[in-house]
Structure 1
Amino acid sequence: MELREASEVIGDYTGNARKALEYGLIMKRLVDQAKAPGFSVESWAPLAELIAVDEFERVGNFKEVMTWAECVNFLTVWAASANWEYSFKRITERPGVVFLELEERSRVGEQVSAVNSLSVYEFNDAGKIRHLDIYLQWPLPNPEMLASYEGIRISE
């Protein structure tokens, strides 16, 4: 599967699919800006424009559940120390829901990761993101844990 930059493909999409792509582009811009002095919870306002802030729920890669206020507090701390980038794989839209597949790469301190992600964006009737589920595929940290997978090809 050819990986592309979201900025290269966003013009091909409208509706909620475009909003999901905009979410990622805004997120990338804000994560890059988060290292500057004065970056705060309020700095996430451009992203909040896409969000139904009063009903928003995010379920993350460790099944943690966050409201919008909890999410921006978490993102503010994470983004200050994270370098994050991603490439577009594919996107599928159905009424009220968008499935966005990415390859995400990050560095937080000495921790470097590259994961395949699937984000499921649910939209309310006003076209705002009301729920976000994050699913990740990543390598196991301990190679011995892979013994039961002997002979099975691991995706890159």
Structure 2
Amino acid sequence: MRKIDDVIDEYTGLSRAVLEYTRVTKRIVDSAKDSGFSVRSWEPLAELVAVDEFERVGNFKEVMNWEQYTDFLTNWASSSEWEGVFKRVTETPGLVFLELEERSSVGEFSNVVNSLAAFEFDEAGKIRHIDVYLQMAMPEAGMLASYEGVGIQE
């Protein structure tokens, strides 16, 4: 298991920026239970983002601008524990793909998902767009029956 802090020094450029974004997110989520936590707590993350043109498309195809995203993050982080375990990062001009195993818990509920996030950058090297894709276990084993027609069996 490799944490972001274990690998960040191996990378430069936009890949390093994405890893820093993830590391800052982890630090803020960890501090979210402290008094005084608010939307303003995300300002260190905003330093890496083109906030005026930012757009995030989430795992349910929901689209958020920076203000909406930080509102969402604030509500989520204040009741969650989160960790991203590094799997792989791939960089192409203006675009970085980050693969993590994400572990999160909210109260009694916890889950582990594989995520791939595509980070698009502007000319200044700021994150302007993120697309999020997830793989997760089926919520109930019996649900696999609905996939029998495509060759998936329990």
Q: Give the deviation of 1:62 after TM superposition.
A: 1.0
- Kindly indicate whether residue 114 of structure 2 is the aligned counterpart of residue 100 of structure 1: no
Paired residue type of 1:133:
D
Q: Give the deviation of 1:4 after TM superposition.
A: 1.0
2:124 is aligned to: 126
Whole-angstrom CA distance in 2 between matches of 1:89 and 1:75: 23
1:13 is aligned to: 11
Q: Give the deviation of 1:142 after TM superposition.
A: 1.8
Q: Give the deviation of 1:95 after TM superposition.
A: 0.2
- Taking the TM superposition and a 5 Å limit, the aligned residue runs for 1:65-104 are 65-104=63-102
Q: Give the deviation of 1:15 after TM superposition.
A: 0.6
1:150 is aligned to: 153
Partner of 1:140: helix, strand, or coil? coil
Whole-angstrom CA distance in 1 between matches of 2:56 and 2:143: 29
Paired residue type of 2:101:
E
Listed as ranges, the gaps of 5+ residues in structure 1 are 152-156
Whole-angstrom CA distance in 1 between matches of 2:20 and 2:35: 25
Paired residue type of 2:51:
V
TM-score by length of 2: 0.94
Of 7, 24, 27, the residue aligned with 2:25 is: 27
Identity of aligned residues (%): 60
TM-score by length of 1: 0.93
Whole-angstrom CA distance in 1 between matches of 2:123 and 2:91: 15
Listed as ranges, the gaps of 5+ residues in structure 2 are none
Whole-angstrom CA distance in 1 between matches of 2:4 and 2:48: 17
Q: Deviations over 1:126-153 (max 9, x none)?
A: 00000001100001112111122116xx
Q: How many residues align?
A: 149
